[in-house]
Amino acid sequence: MNFDGTVRRSQGYSTTIVFDRAIDYVDDFERRDDARPFYLYLAPIAPHDPSIAEPKYASAAVPAHQPDPSYMEADRSDKPPFVRNQNPTATTVQATRTAMIRTLYTVDDQVDRFLRHLQTTGELANTLVLFTSDNGYLLGEHKATSKFLPYRKAVEVPFLLRWPGRVPAGAVDDRLVTHVDVVPTILAATGVSQSHVALDGRDILSGFTRQRALTEYWNDANNNPNIPSWASIRTTAFRYAEFYDNANPANVTFREYYNLQADPYELVNLLADGVPSNDPDTAALSQTLRTTRQCVGSGCP
């Protein structure tokens, strides 16, 4: 592990070490100037592969799997070829799920420990806490195991805000939010204004309602060469995606369109179901996707 520029072998469990350092960081700010605001980005590796549980959770029970209708989808003829080529067994999927959840037990413990420490130091009441993840993960949905795809379980992540007196406790907000909204939200919360960078996101706490969410993936030959670049837009009503030829990114090799109100689990790609009468206007959708990909700052929807 890299400790302030010095790479050395660590002693202990990775997740706990990361939270140890986070607490040290907060305490250092307390010692220097208790009134000075701090910013902390805290990112444990768990539940990322190899998903090795802390010894006390190595054999812990996990909640029963409650799969949605897309789990081990039988008919994937409407999906891109590289999705159809994924064929994990249910046994493998469940083993991966179990291993991931066991590592998250320690994350739960440490998040609780860290928030209690903020409370002890008197910082919790005036600290904006944002809890999220960099990606979701398909655990058998559409008979795939991956985080590089545009399907719900791969792109939907937890997104929780805690700020006493500013964010109502227990409130649920159904607006579309993406990670580009994180920085504008933090800047607005701290009263910081900047003009150096055009930020595509919006302050979540301002009440802004996003019209559509953009997700993108660029082919990574060193990580997963079989998945091509793609881009997708999602609204509350539909999701549209384009998959591109890696040798010629201007060439669309496959398209998907799901009616999310009638088909929330993305089982029927209307552009590949053999029924032309239900096909949407792909020219208009493609233009909207292109515009969304190229937008900058306040021009983003």
pLDDT one-digit tens code per residue, 28-75: 999 999 998 999 999 999 999 999 999 999 999 999 999 999 999 999
CATH of the domain at 286: 3.30.1120
Q: Indicate the pLDDT class of residue 301, thresholds 50, 70 and 90.
A: confident
CATH of the domain at 39: 3.40.720.10
Query: Backbone phi, then psi, for 138, in 5-degree steps?
Result: -80, 120
Instruction: With 0.95 as the threshold, say if the pTM is over it.
Output: no
Residue 255 lies in a domain: yes
Q: What whole-number distance in Å separates Cα of residue 151 and Cα of residue 137?
A: 9
Say if residue 271 is in the same domain as residue 148: no
* Range in 29-33, 153-157, 220-224, 269-273 the model is least confident about: 220-224
Say if residue 117 is in the same domain as residue 256: no
Residue 118 lies in a domain: yes
Say if residue 55 is in the same domain as residue 154: yes
Say if residue 163 is in the same domain as residue 229: no
Domain that holds residue 288: 211-301
DSSP secondary structure string for all residues of 267-301: ---TTSSS-GGG---HHHHHHHHHHHHH--GGG--
Work out the angle at residue 148's Cα, subtended by the Cα atoms of residues 146 and 151, and round it to the nearest 5 degrees. Answer: 80
Residue 8 lies in a domain: no
Q: What is the model's pLDDT at position 224?
A: 86
Say if residue 224 is in the same domain as residue 271: yes
Residue 187 lies in a domain: no
Instruction: Identify the domain boundary among 126, 154, 175.
Output: 175
User: In this structure, is the dihedral angle defined by the CA atoms of residues 273, 276, 282 and 284, taken in order, positive or negative?
Assistant: negative
Say if residue 257 is in the same domain as residue 115: no
Say if residue 38 is in the same domain as residue 156: yes
Give residues with Cβ within 8 angstroms of 17, minimum separation 6: 1, 10
Say if residue 169 is in the same domain as residue 234: no
Residue 270 lies in a domain: yes
Q: Indicate the pLDDT class of residue 258, thresholds 50, 70 and 90.
A: very high
What token pair was written down for 69? 């209708």
Say if residue 150 is in the same domain as residue 224: no
Which residue from 161, 168, 166, 143 is spatially nearest to 153, judged by alpha carbons?
Answer: 143
Single-letter code of the amino acid located at 195: S
Say if residue 88 is in the same domain as residue 145: yes
Q: Indicate the pLDDT class of residue 131, thresholds 50, 70 and 90.
A: very high
Q: What is the model's pLDDT at position 195?
A: 86
Q: Indicate the pLDDT class of residue 298, thresholds 50, 70 and 90.
A: confident
Residue 196 lies in a domain: no
Residue 191 lies in a domain: no
Q: What is the model's pLDDT at position 269?
A: 98
Instruction: Identify the domain boundary among 155, 175, 195.
Output: 175
Residue 201 lies in a domain: no
Say if residue 103 is in the same domain as residue 230: no
What token pair was written down for 39? 């910013």
Domain tally, the chain: 2
Q: Express as a percent the part of the chain with pLDDT over 70.
A: 100
- Residue spans of beta strands (DSSP E) within the chain: 2-3, 6-7, 129-132, 138-139, 145-146, 159-162, 213-217, 230-234, 238-245, 248-259
Instruction: Identify the domain boundary among 151, 175, 199.
Output: 175
Say if residue 83 is in the same domain as residue 229: no
Q: Indicate the pLDDT class of residue 223, thresholds 50, 70 and 90.
A: confident
